[in-house]
């Protein structure tokens, strides 16, 4: 704990505040812990250009904490939160106490912060005291996607390569799928049909597929086969493959369609040159995590996302 005489001063960031050392310490700590650090120059540029607002915590004339935030269209974000020892929890808590009302006054009805700290526990406690809920997101990776056995497509269904004309129908399924309440904040685009459509188009890549009823169902549906599932996947710039989204309409779940779609995308990514395939999943989503584990995906990273109101 800090000495009793240590009094924190929380105020809006001004030019005279020296935050260089605080940023450099944060970058060094993250790098030592194997995390990708924030880019100090980009942060300073955003502050100078007015794209970010900030509070600074000072003690004895030195900056010991920094919180950068933004608010737009009712959505607020704590973009960066730094707190120096000896009491990171106290500093972080004081900054959050100032930032939450400021974000609310700026029109933010929701606030999100993806936590990335070398020493996360003090920050975790500070967010909890400030009324934030914690959602844990796991990154799962498969190192040998081409080696995964390809299951038979369930009877009555077939898979088709992605076409742009499928985007509207897939966006409709994307929106209607049951989701964790936190998805409303993590996936704000899903709030509107236009937002869901934009998200589908962003995630769909060369390894995307849809599942439809097969041709034997034509007598029931005419010439249009309804889409009942999809996988949106693409190769990333670093050469890895990403599964952006996997979904099956509720009436067609439990029949193996998700597994068939996922393995099809993994093999397509491998053929495109991806040596590994990764995806993210809420740690609380046990059914999805079980499917991924059964195919050989293993946890390679975890991130906590804090949401307000909790």
Rounded (5°) CA angle 37-183-74: 80
Q: Which uninterrupted H or E stretch holds 235?
A: strand 227-235
**pLDDT score at 3:** 46
Cα of first residue to Cα of last residue in the chain, in angstroms, is 27
- CATH architecture designation of domain 9-131: 3-Layer(aba) Sandwich (3.40)
**pLDDT score at 60:** 82
* Domain extents in the chain: 9-131, 140-308
**pLDDT score at 16:** 63
Task: Please write the tens of the pLDDT for every residue from 140-172.
Answer: 999 999 999 988 899 999 999 999 999 999 999
Is 140-308 in CATH node 3.40.630.30?
yes
Residue ranges, the chain, pLDDT below 50: 1-4, 217-219, 221-223
**Count of beta carbons in the 10 Å neighbourhood of residue 279:** 21
Q: Count of alpha carbons within 13 Å of 52, Cβ hemisphere only?
A: 21
Instruction: Quickly tell me which residue has 């009805």 as its tokens.
Output: 109
**pLDDT score at 211:** 93
Judge if 9-131 and 140-308 fold alike in CATH terms.
yes
119 DSSP 8-state letter: S
**pLDDT score at 22:** 78
**pLDDT score at 219:** 47
Structure tokens at 193: 């049909």
**pLDDT score at 247:** 94
**pLDDT score at 223:** 46
Q: Which residues pair with 56 in a beta bridge?
A: 11, 66
**pLDDT score at 1:** 43
């Amino acid at each position: 704990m800090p000495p009793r005489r240590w009094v924190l001063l929380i105020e809006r960031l001004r030019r005279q505040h020296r935050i260089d050392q605080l940023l450099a310490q944060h970058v060094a700590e993250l790098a030592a812990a194997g995390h990708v650090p924030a880019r100090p120059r980009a942060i300073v540029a955003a502050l100078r250009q007015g794209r970010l607002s900030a509070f600074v915590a000072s003690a004895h004339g030195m900056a010991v904490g920094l919180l950068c935030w933004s608010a737009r269209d009712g959505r607020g974000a704590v973009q960066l939160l730094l707190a120096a020892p000896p009491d990171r929890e106290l500093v972080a808590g004081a900054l959050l106490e100032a930032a939450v009302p400021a974000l609310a006054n700026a029109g933010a009805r929701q606030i999100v912060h993806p936590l990335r700290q070398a020493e996360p526990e003090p920050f975790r406690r500070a967010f909890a005291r400030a009324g934030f809920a914690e959602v844990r997101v796991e990154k799962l990776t498969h190192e040998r996607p081409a080696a995964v056995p390809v299951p038979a497509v369930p009877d009555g269904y077939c898979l088709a390569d992605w076409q742009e004309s499928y985007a509207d129908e897939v966006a409709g399924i994307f929106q209607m799928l049951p989701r964790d309440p936190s998805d409303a904040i993590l996936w704000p685009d899903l709030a509107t049909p236009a937002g869901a459509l934009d998200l589908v188009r962003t995630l769909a890549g060369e390894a995307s597929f849809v599942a439809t009823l097969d041709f034997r169902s034509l007598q029931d549906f005419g010439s249009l086969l309804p889409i009942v599932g999809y996988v949106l996947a693409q190769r990333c710039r670093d050469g890895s493959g990403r599964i952006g989204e996997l979904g099956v309409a509720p009436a067609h779940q439990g029949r193996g369609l998700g597994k068939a779609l996922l393995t099809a995308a993994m093999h397509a990514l491998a053929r495109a040159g991806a040596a590994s395939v990764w995806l993210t999943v809420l740690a609380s989503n046990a059914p999805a995590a079980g499917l991924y584990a059964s195919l050989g995906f293993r946890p390679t990273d975890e991130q906590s996302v804090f949401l307000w109101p909790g």
